[in-house]
Structure 1
Amino acid sequence: MHKIFDMHNEEILLRRPPLADQAFTNLRRDVLAGTFGAGAKLKVDELQAVYGLSSSPLREALSRLAQEGLIRADERRGFRVAAISEDDLADITRMRLMLDVGALRESMAQGDDAWEAAVVSAYHRLEKVESRLSDGPVVLDDEWAQLHRSFHLSLLAACPSERQRLWGASLFDQAERYRRFSARYRTIGRRKSNDHRRIMDAALRRDADTACALLEEHILGTQRNVAAALQRAAAQA
């Protein structure tokens, strides 16, 4: 009986992600959500209490997040959440335009029926969730945010450059902090499904010029919305 119990416990442990991955996933989620504000000091001993993990997996998670640009290494070997500024977002936007627009063009050229099906499925799931939300800041909804990410990455999934896809995903996540910040200062409700539908339709009919132009405008729209939010936040401060 003890042997069966031990085998069951071992099976459960094997199914769990490694502690470093757990730390990375949880800490990354909270940085993106703004649980730790821009510029906040991330002290390992305090994080241990929050996540119930030892220092080793947390330090590994912090290093991985620093590589993604979501946090910064402090001069004194500590870590802080990356600052938020118009200049930083402008740099993120510039890089997204360089990488994602080209990746979309290549993805459309290379994408097969399975790619098309994945794009349609990702859009459908996103649209269904968005249709159930109120007219508030939908970007703050975690499920919506995850499906929004999945949709955008599905569009680029057939791009043959793995580095381009990975860097694009990292930049998308860096921009996610700004989208969530913007949503906290939004004065009117905003739904994005029409934007996404137009991008998807152009991509599926392989109209590269239209799809790329729509994606570029979509990315620039995020920059404009965040700039307005930063100005409102400064005025309130």
Structure 2
Amino acid sequence: MADTPTLIEQAFSRLRRDVLIGSLAAGCRLKIEDLQDAYGFSSSPLREALSRLAQEGLVRADERRGFRVAPISLVDMADITRMRLMLDVQALADAIEHGTDAWEAAIVAAFYRLEKVEARLEGPTVLDEGWSSLHREFHMALIAASPSERQRAWSASLFDQAERYRRYSSTHRKGSRRKTNEHKRLMEATLRREVKIASGLLREHILGTQRNVESGLKALGQ
């Protein structure tokens, strides 16, 4: 039987989800009293959860003003992209070098689940929480064989920070950016162990997300 999550873990999970999907809007003040009423946790687990979110860059802490959801900006998105290009591309190359048959099978399975869900969706897929979760699973499967646990964790955190931008900007997106073909090419190059091609495809995939988000943010006047 799995261990029951602690109150801190429960608070962290719920707050994190609401920041990522935009229920807690960018820049909004996070008052402990209001969060207690909304989530039903005491102040101690909420403060610890907010501190953990601040470490991930999703929340900003100020000793005098408390906590706020991290603001949205083109500069911040560009920095997230720059860091993803530094970490994710190398993590993929390392995973290709060290990956086993089980790693390959996990990538194929993650792609299959993502492809099946995307085929059923209409409109901007980023708005669908189920798709977003499977999208994350696919990208994490790609780098799962990287021997650096720290690098994998940082890549996952940056992916989630980019996801917040994708969701925020999608409300003003003019068209859907279907990603199945991009993901398929990336998967196939990875499974063929073609480091240079796979790295280039991942780099373009990340930059494509930045361009898409920038277009949405500009439409919002950011």
Residue matched to 1:7: none
1:52-201 pair list within 5 angstroms: 52-134=40-122, 136-201=123-188
Q: Does 1:45 align with 2:45?
A: no
Deviation digits for residues 176-214 of structure 1 (CA, Å, limit 9, x no counterpart): 111111211111122111111110000001111111000
Picking from 204, 207, 214, the partner of 1:217 is 204
Distance, in Å, in 1 between the alignment partners of 2:171 and 2:36 is: 28
Alpha carbon RMSD of aligned pairs, Å? 1.3
Tell me the secondary structure at the aligned position of residue 73 of structure 1: strand
Deviation digits for residues 101-144 of structure 1 (CA, Å, limit 9, x no counterpart): 0110010010000000010111111111111111x121111111
Picking from 12, 22, 29, the partner of 2:17 is 29
Residue matched to 1:19: 7
Tell me the secondary structure at the aligned position of residue 145 of structure 2: coil
Flag structure 2 segments of 5+ consecutive residues without an equivalent.
none
Normalization by structure 2: what TM-score? 0.97
2:4 aligned partner, one-letter code? R
Residue matched to 2:217: 230
1:234 aligned partner, one-letter code? G
Normalization by structure 1: what TM-score? 0.91
Residue matched to 1:4: none
1:128 aligned partner, one-letter code? K
Aligned residues: 222
Distance, in Å, in 1 between the alignment partners of 2:33 and 2:119 is: 42
1:23 aligned partner, one-letter code? A
Residue 226 of structure 1: how far off its partner (Å)? 1.0
Distance, in Å, in 2 between the alignment partners of 1:27 and 1:137 is: 24
Flag structure 1 segments of 5+ consecutive residues without an equivalent.
1-10
